[in-house]
Structure 1
């Protein structure tokens, strides 16, 4: 009874028990977990700009609408090449002593998952334009615009990064729209979000609840390979810039509809652009090396360019995977 009636002993004992349980149940397991996990061999650490961009990502509330976790279900296959693993987040550190915002996995997928956005969309120009006015590149987008990450200038200065804004989406009154340091840092962070490859791809867990694709065309009876669906590959790799109708965005991304490069009987230049990117026209943004960055196979590139060469009124001969492979070898 003396112990129960002595409030000092009672509260000190309760506090000691609480501290002991906290150390044994929370702190020690957390330290062991941290010491027993490491990043995948191919994982790259964030650069200084990307780390600063992560802070911009947080301060602008991007984590409220975007996840960074590819779940082990078939519907998430579009967001990454494999389900996320614990090792994907092992390299994340505390922001500082007081703030633990290292892993931004998120809980709400109002916008697309960003786990692998650095591979899915490597174009700096696209990201900047998307931040300035999302509906200029994705008409159905519900993402808010972030104009405060940009400034207008009557004349460009050395080091300025101008964004090419399509007609009807700019209120700059003829001035140049320039990305601020924070916008460039945010884009650096987004481009750094990439799934590291496993040292043995055979160890990657398969997505659960996968539905078998339709393998035949009812009208022709011909077999179809889902992986070689040119329209689907175009949608994944090219549509965000060149648009579903192939008309691109005036003043930002060139059209493929009626393009002499796309329709040329010799597809070498087209394949070179897909593999190595293109930056030769001042009125358009820089195209990244989609083929090289995405490790696209000759069969996939063949399917994409054949879709481009036979859609939107385009009518050019088909290009075989063998021809694509030969041209890629000659470009090295």
Structure 2
């Protein structure tokens, strides 16, 4: 792909090591242009690699000028990134043909470099520390605190008091609320032997971590460790099924197999246990600069798993008006097998 145009911040960052919320990245053969306004040019000059920084008070007009000047016949773009008004104004009165190619940047990033994997490992390590800090807080002060308050505490602990950016807004859900895969926090208070689900992640050098833990609230010993002892027998039963389904996929995934096969390792186990209709989402998703990247690990995906792919394995069972359990780890494929980051 010789000529392409990018607006998405993470796609731009991947190309040149810097991005901002008002920039056009234009790659024309061996030349590249980072077009932005005067608020960002100083930093762009400092941080961008292998591109010319162009200060602009009208990004669309200056992009058009460069395309005209270089007599560009064709340029590839991702239609998911472009607002209709931006696209219409950009292509108006221009001889250049714009060729839509969905997700071409994400497809380019599907296999991570060894350097990217090191960064993702570090992000996962920082995320794990955040979970430990949150567990320590819940152990000492969690009793009778609301989901809303512990959601705030999850932000505080995961971000290390604001030192780290978060991958996404954390999910903190107790009991019945955990039956919603993307639960919003409520004023429900935490009690002894409640089930708590926390889904959270942090960024390191802009790369994301992503992890979900489900735990029993037995205050003195509270932790997010994978081995959990629940007072409620049904909680324990469902937890054990989800955990075994997750381990089944982590242990059996191999390079060369289809992503749909990985999905079946969790799904078939849960179906066999009699809870298939309560597993309502896919098994996982790629993780990188975006929290949701390729490969998609679902029942329809024909993508072939390769070494240096990074993705989540996160089966769940959600019983409406009762509770939900999800267990998620991010894995990297190395030497044909999955390693938990």
Instruction: Give the structure-1-normalised TM-score.
Output: 0.27
- When you count helix as a share of all residues, which structure comes out higher? 1
Larger relative contact order, structure 1 or 2 (CA cutoff 8 Å, min sep 6): 1
TM (norm. structure 2) is 0.26
More strand by share: 2
Rg larger in structure: 1
